[in-house]
Structure 1
Amino acid sequence: MFVIILAPYAGGLGGEISQLESDLIAVFVWVLSVFVANYMHQRSIRGPFETILRKKSTI
């Protein structure tokens, strides 16, 4: 999310926003990740790293 929003070759906002705005973006990304994790937990959807670890442990 940070690359999409801040990187010069993507969203390009990194050099154009203030410290407060970048802090608000960080909090927004964190809150969004918490909501996504909660949604996935409620529906028993495994995340990508959990899937990789489970496949690796069975090998």
Structure 2
Amino acid sequence: MESVKMKKATKTVAFRQLAIYCNIVDNQLLTDAKIPKYILQHLIRRNLSYDIR
């Protein structure tokens, strides 16, 4: 009986760690995806400001 509880607890901990890791990876991917977007916006704004002058 005790080993079944231990196995279940171990699985629970493993799933929690996996969920935390996946969340970290998702956040990093979102951050990486935003950086090129901001760079592109900056370049477009910079070029538009030169055209206006």
**Runs of at least 5 residues in structure 1 that lack an aligned partner in the other structure:** 1-16, 46-59
Question: Equivalents in 1 of 2:8, 2:20: separation in Å?
Answer: 19
Higher relative contact order (CA 8 A, sep 6+): 1
Q: Does 1:23 align with 2:8?
A: yes
C-alpha RMSD of matched pairs (Å): 1.9
Q: CA deviation at 1:22?
A: 0.4
- The normalised TM-score by structure 2 is 0.50
Structure 2 residue ranges without an equivalent (≥5): 31-53
Deviation at 1:20, TM superposition (A): 0.2
Q: Percent identity?
A: 7
Bigger Cα Rg: 2
- The alpha carbon displacement at 1:18 in A equals 0.6
